[in-house]
Amino acid sequence: MNNIWQRLKRLPWQELSLVSLIATLTVAASEVMLILSLRNSFLILKPLNMLFSSPVFGVLIPIGVAVGMGALAVYLLEWWQKKWLLNNSSLWALVLCLFIGLLLKSLFPLLNLLVTASRASLISLAIGVFWKGRPYWRR
């Protein structure tokens, strides 16, 4: 049991939380831009309303955004840090940090258009992180 706590303590929590904050802010900024464009442009209001209210795309869009958010976080870690930082346990810690970021984002009532904190988004975050982080699984 002591070995698990030591491994958890050695994870780069600051870097992972910073990258998840950047990814969460990127999604929140895109939601704000989408809301502003919906308010200002009536040409895209009807097609986007139909897209978000359709049964298929209404489910697929939040899942796709969460997968993209996880892949973006791994891309940012690859770009920002060295390769030794990424391994299987740090990818799982990144999924946890990203989900905490989604939980904090869902506290704001205006920014829940594209993705919210749910089981589907947690699974989609894990898919995105491990899809992009496939080379780092065995480290």
Residue pLDDT, tens place only, 108-138: 876 677 888 889 999 999 999 999 988 887 7
- Which residues of the chain register pLDDT less than 70? 1-2, 82-84, 110-111, 139
The answer to whether residue 102 is domain-embedded is yes
Element (H, E) at 4: helix 2-9
Q: How far apart are the first and last CA of the chain?
A: 21
Task: Give pTM, 2 decimals.
Answer: 0.87
The answer to whether residue 130 is domain-embedded is yes
The answer to whether residue 18 is domain-embedded is yes
pLDDT at 131: 95
pLDDT at 82: 67
The answer to whether residue 128 is domain-embedded is yes
pLDDT at 12: 85
Count of the separate structural domains present in the chain: 1
Q: Which range of residues forms the domain containing residue 20?
A: 14-37+64-136
